[in-house]
Every structure is written in structure tokens, then in C-alpha cells.
Amino acid sequence: MTPDRPRTVVLKKNLARSIRQGHPWIYRDALDVRVVPDNGALVEIHTRDGRPIARGFWDERSPIAVRVLESGGPGYRFADVESLVAERLQAALDRRLERLDLSKTNAFRWLHGEGDLLPGVHIDLYADTAVVRFDGDGARAFYDPFEPRLRLAARSRLPIRAVLDRSSRKPGAKKNERKVLENGVRFVVDLAHGQKGGLFIDQRENRVRVAERARGKSVLNLFGYTGGFAVHAAVAGARSTDTVDVAKPAIEAAWRNFQLNDLPMDRAKFHALDVFAFLTAAIERGDRWDIVISDPPSFAPKKAAVPKARRAYERLHKLASEVTTRGGLLCASSCSSHFGKDEFLASIEAGVAQAGRSWAFEALYGAAFDHPVLPAFPEGDYLKFAMGRVG
């Protein structure tokens, strides 16, 4: 972190209002920069008439040249950066610990970057290990050294033994496993290779919502990864579960997660298969499930991919509704921020209609509370989880 005097960059686009409202990103083409700052340097953003309106840090390479830490009107006194980072790390942890019982849930997101007002850095906690991710070298340089700050904020409140940087993971590395708890349910996570750091903790509250409905039901967990939804459903008394994921290591981990929770293995099936192929075969066989969960990877990682993504979501929702019993529950998710809520719901209705079925919308949820969303930053509102009954 660079406590020295900030460099000045000038806004050439009229973004002062959105920055003051709390939008944390400034793209390179919105700025007039005379002397290019170092990566991670503290910068002060001025309007064209020379008024300072915000402070942030510089990224040399990302199209997001500045991530904003603080903004203010005329005469605003910017905080000392060192204390600002310490206070926000602390406040984010306070908000988690206020609501989580660590004896039941010890895998959670301590810091959600922009959503917790520390842009470009995320911390996930997996039992005694903190996994840190920086969005680019600018963020890494700005927060450096981060580990002592993290440890200071955790102090006696979190039992942190190791701090890992997610970007230093190597494909051939040995497994680095931890056993964690999510609402009392056990999971083994591989911090060296697991997707999204190890567990999709953003779906924690949605797994509870499915489990609440699962007693006595048959459950199909599509794009199931390490079995998150299925394990929770089985613990809650599901009659049977089927977990489908194309990644063999994820399916093996799902099997282990069932074992870890002492669940009856004769009621759990695991399929290392492509979801579309699995569904096509299931439809041919006439298989049906009472609850179907569909949680695919992002079909629209960028804006340009949205039309293609719409077709893929519709096809998926068509096939998923065809294997749902009449009156059964279809839970469909999307983790693409480019694909908006209305568009996503429309893709479910269109897909289900193509199957000649109907879908009675019940509720739309987002990510768990430890992934906060800023009202001024819709880009951060990525996760959608819709529940509805198929007729």
C-alpha cells in the first residue's frame, strides 16, 4: 500500500454523479492521465474543473483503470488509507460473525471486494484457512502486504492458520484439503484445485431453501459440482438424489461428501456426464424428479455472449422442466451479471413453454448475505436463483 501523496487523474467523461453515488469502477477511456501512476498507486480523481471527488487505486493493465475506495463532495476530507482498509476489513468480519454460528458454518466469504467497499480483493474462509483473491496486479500491489492486515483483523476471533493466494495455485499441485461445515453439513474442499476457491459458498442460503422442501422427495442436482444441494437435500430426508456434473473430480468429491455425512449411499446416484446428454437420455427413459436444481456455469461471461446464452438457458430450462414431475419444483440459477433478472426469468418461462409445460413462479433469490451487493453497482449483482412449480 502506498501512503504517499496520491497522483491526480482527471475525469473526461461526466461520471462524477455515479462515482459519488458509489459506483466503484472507472474505465481507462473515461480518464485523462498526464503522468501514468504505478500499478497499485493511490490516485485522486478530479473533475475537469479541478475538484477532487474520489480516491482509489490504479491498475496498469485492466480496462478498469481505477477502483474507487472513497468518494465525497466539495471540502470532503479523505480518510487515511491504512486505517480505512483496517476498518473495512474489521467491519466486514463483524457483519459475518454477527450472523454466523462458527460451530455450524465455518466456510464463508469474509470480504466481498466492491460489496464490502474494499474493491478488487476477496477473502473466503475455509475452517482455519483464508483464501485471498486479487482482481489483477493493481489490487495486489495496492493491498500489499495483505496477510498481516488480514491477521490483525482476525486476531482472536478467527482461528487462522494459513493464508493462501488463489492466483498462486498450480494445476499439478498436491491436493490441499480441508473439512468444513455449512449449516452443520460436512464438506471436504480442495483448496488447491477446487472451483471458486473450493465451494460455491454464494449458494449457501439457497441450499437451505431447497433442503426445506426436500423431505421425502426425489432430487436431481444438475451441474452439481461437489454435491452441495444434493447433500443438504439428503440430510434433510430426500427420498433419493442424483448429482450430475461433467467434472469427474467434482463427482468423486460429491460421493465423499455423502460418505462424510453418513448418508445412505443406496439412495444417492452420481453421474460424471454432460448435463444436456444426461437430460436427453432421462427424457427418453421417461425419468422424473420432484425437485430439479439447475446451477450452470455462466453462459454469458461477457455482454456479447448474451444472445447465445439466452438460447442455451432456454434449452436447459426446456429439458429440466421435462424431467420435473407435475407440481414439482424447478430451481434455476444463473451466475452471469450480464444476463439480468427479467431476462433470466423470461428464459425459464420460454424454455418451460417450449416443453409444453407451465412454471408458476414462487421466488427469486440472490447470493448469501456474505456476498453483499451495492445499490449503485448492479455489476456486482450476479447470482439469481429462481424457484417455481412446474405444471
Using CB under 6 A, list all residues that contact ligand SAM: 195, 200, 203, 223-226, 228-229, 244-247, 250, 274-275, 295-297, 335
| Shortest separation between residue 7's beta carbon and ligand SAM, angstroms | 39
Nearer to ligand SAM, 102 or 246 (CB): 246
Burial (0-12, 13-18, 19+ Cβ within 10 Å), 270: buried
Nearer to ligand SAM, 86 or 305 (CB): 305
The least CB distance from residue 306 to ligand SAM, in Å, is 18
Peptide bond into 249 cis (omega under 30): no
How many Å from the N-terminal Cα to the C-terminal Cα in the chain? 57
Q: Residue 126 or 229: which CB sits closer to ligand SAM? A: 229
Choose between 2 and 221: whose C-beta lies nearer to ligand SAM.
221
Q: What is the largest CA-CA distance in the chain?
A: 71
Long-range pairs of 70-73 with CB within 8 A, sequence gap ≥ 24: 71/19, 71/20, 71/22, 72/20, 73/20
- Is residue 52 within 8 Å of 150, Cβ to Cβ? no
Nearer of residues 138 and 351 to ligand SAM, judged by Cβ: 351
Q: How far is CA 43 from the centre of its chain?
A: 28
Residue 121 or residue 222: which is nearer to ligand SAM going by CB? 222
For 8-65, give the DSSP string.
EEEE-SS-HHHHHTT--EEEGGGEE-SSPPPTT-EEEEE-TTS-EEEEEEE-SSSSEE
CB of 384 to ligand SAM, least distance (A): 12
Minimum CB distance to ligand SAM smaller for 59 or for 322: 322
Least Å from the CB of residue 302 to ligand SAM: 17
Of 26, 32, 74, the closest CA to residue 53 belongs to 74
For residue 361, give every residue at least 6 positions away whose Cβ sits within 8 Å of its Cβ, in sequence order, or none: 345, 386, 388
Please answer whether residues 178 and 199 qualify as being in contact, where contact means their C-beta atoms are separated by less than 8 angstroms: no
Question: Least distance (Å) from ligand SAM to the CB of residue 159?
Answer: 24
β-bridge pairing 359-365 and 64-71: unpaired
From the list 270, 135, 254, 282, the residue with the least C-alpha distance to 186 is 254
Residue with CB nearest ligand SAM? 228
CB of 171 to ligand SAM, least distance (A): 15
Minimum gap (Å) between residue 155 Cβ and ligand SAM: 31
Task: Closer to ligand SAM by CB, 96 or 271: give it.
Answer: 271
What distance in Å separates the CA atoms of residue 61 and residue 222, rounded to the nearest whole number? Answer: 37
Q: CB of 31: closest distance to ligand SAM in angstroms?
A: 34
CB of 90 to ligand SAM, least distance (A): 29
Of 142 and 225, the one with the shorter C-beta distance to ligand SAM is: 225
C-alpha 294 chain-centroid distance: 16
CB 116 within 8 A of CB 93: no
Cα(164)–Cα(154) distance, rounded to whole angstroms? 15
